[in-house]
Amino acid sequence: MKKSIRDIEVTGKKVLVRVDFNVPLDPKTNEIMDDSRIIAALPTIWYLIEHKARLILCSHLGRPDGQVVESLRMTPIAERLSQLTNLPIYTVSDCIGLKVNKALAKLKNGDTLLLENLRFHPEEEANDPAFAKSLAELADIYVDDAFGTAHRAHASTYGVAKLLPAYAGFLLEKELKALGNLLTNAQHPFAALLGGAKVSDKIKLISNIIDKIDVLLIGGGMAATFLKAQNYGVGLSSVEEDKKDLANQIIDTARKNNISLLLPLDVIVADAVNDLSKYSIAPISMIPANKYIVDIGPQTIELFIGHLKQCRTIFWNGPMGVYEIAQFSRGTKSMAELLANLSATTVVGGGSTAELVAEMHLSFKMTHVSTGGGASLSFLEGKTLPGVEVLLDDK
């Protein structure tokens, strides 16, 4: 494990905290649509405020590609954070330089300053040493609480941590513990419920956990490749032809290791992938050649529920269908509702799955909902995360 902010005296110190405030904004109003990531950082923020640190928060927002984009300024984030803490959150129109130094000079113990969007500078994603040095010079201590960017070696996640005493925040610590337990300490039966568009996105994950799980359930777009590999027709659905052999290898490995691998028994098919298209249920042996698979069917939902109810640990990543369209969301929402009401350890692996659970107001009923889609997958694939590796070890 890594050292956390509990392991250092922070009173009176300038503490630079890398948070992940990359929240979705309404394109019309620029209002925050989901503040889950801000709320997730509050334990670390409160700890530092209560221990009288001079708190400097930094984050990226969106993809400004190294340019100043007015709609991606951190102003709405500061306003929401101020509402949540009932405290003033000071802001500045840059993240390095003279303006920031002037703002820092006014900062008192227990105050919070939110820097401007890091990615307004192209040097951030390039992990530019001079940019990292400029950030490091703002503070005495560095804290990484941005698990969502821990798989990136950027200036604010890696470069700065090389230059300052670097510690984990409480959210990062929580993520590492919850996901680490899946790999080393999961209670059995242990199921992995995987969906999403592509097999290629999940191959390394499956390879790393296949010897740790008891049940593997596959839905979403990636199921089409598995079904095609088993010689079923999948209509107009996208198939990764170059991954069919790999899909069969996974099926064979599961069989040899007595792992229950469940593919859909039936699916919802539609003329087109939009909310006006006609749709129907089809068994996998009778998928029409002129239709798209858009969700798992009712038989499959019951099959998946039956197996998941018997499990003591469940990891879920990826929707079961085109959940953004209401009539194609039943499979995904059924899985969310089931997991929310089980007594098992339930871990949701970030990204679109986490967003859906938040939209359904079920996050609090899960054991853990990861704030990092790509980071959680990288971690469970067995990869070293640069933003974690660089922090001080707890010896």
Last residue of a domain, one of 125, 141, 173: 173
Cβ contact 281:268 at 8 Å: yes
How far, in Å, CA of 28 to CA of 121, rounded? 25
Task: Confirm whether 57 is domain-assigned.
Answer: yes
How far, in Å, CA of 191 to CA of 328, rounded? 24
The pLDDT assigned to 201 comes to 85
Question: Residue-wise pLDDT tens for the chain (395 aa)?
Answer: 899 999 999 999 999 999 999 999 998 999 998 898 999 999 999 999 999 999 999 999 999 999 999 999 999 999 999 999 999 999 999 999 999 999 999 999 999 999 999 999 999 999 999 999 999 999 999 999 999 999 999 999 999 999 999 999 999 999 999 999 999 999 999 999 999 888 888 888 999 999 999 999 999 999 999 999 999 999 999 999 999 999 999 999 999 999 999 999 999 999 999 999 999 999 999 999 999 999 999 999 999 999 999 999 999 999 999 999 999 999 999 999 999 999 999 999 877 899 899 889 999 999 999 988 889 999 999 999 999 999 989 87
Helix (H), strand (E) at residue 387: helix 386-389
> Which H, E and C letters describe 122-164, residue by residue?
HHHHCCCHHHHHHHHCCCCEEEECCHHHCCCCCHHHHHHHHCC
Residue 351 a catalytic site member: yes
Task: Confirm whether 326 is domain-assigned.
Answer: yes
Segments forming the whole domain that contains residue 342:
186-380
Q: Which of these is catalytic: 99, 198, 204, 312? A: 198
Instruction: Please report, for the domain that includes residue 59, its CATH number.
Output: 3.40.50.1260
Task: Confirm whether 178 is domain-assigned.
Answer: no
Task: Confirm whether 179 is domain-assigned.
Answer: no
Percent helix, strand, coil in the chain, to 5, is 40, 15, 40
Q: Are residues 270 and 330 in the same domain?
A: yes
Phi, psi of 142 (to 5 degrees): -115, 135
Task: Confirm whether 214 is domain-assigned.
Answer: yes
| Among candidate residues 132, 134, 125, 117, the one with its CA nearest the CA of residue 153 | 125
Q: Are residues 160 and 204 in the same domain?
A: no
**Residue 342 DSSP SS3:** coil
Q: Which of these is catalytic: 169, 351, 372, 373? A: 351
The pLDDT assigned to 319 comes to 95
Handedness of CA 75, 81, 87, 91 (dihedral sign): negative
Q: Are residues 76 and 201 in the same domain?
A: no
Last residue of a domain, one of 116, 149, 173: 173
Last residue of a domain, one of 135, 151, 173: 173
Q: Are residues 265 and 294 in the same domain?
A: yes
Q: Are residues 104 and 197 in the same domain?
A: no
Q: Which of these is catalytic: 2, 13, 37, 244? A: 37
Q: pTM of the predicted model, to two decimals?
A: 0.91
In the chain, how many domains are there?
Answer: 2
Q: Are residues 364 and 222 in the same domain?
A: yes
Q: Are residues 167 and 225 in the same domain?
A: no
Q: Are residues 159 and 224 in the same domain?
A: no
Residue 18 a catalytic site member: no
How far, in Å, CA of 109 to CA of 49, rounded? 8
Q: Are residues 157 and 266 in the same domain?
A: no
Q: Which of these is catalytic: 62, 66, 235, 374? A: 374
Q: Are residues 156 and 200 in the same domain?
A: no
The pLDDT assigned to 220 comes to 93
The pLDDT assigned to 53 comes to 98
Residue 195 a catalytic site member: no
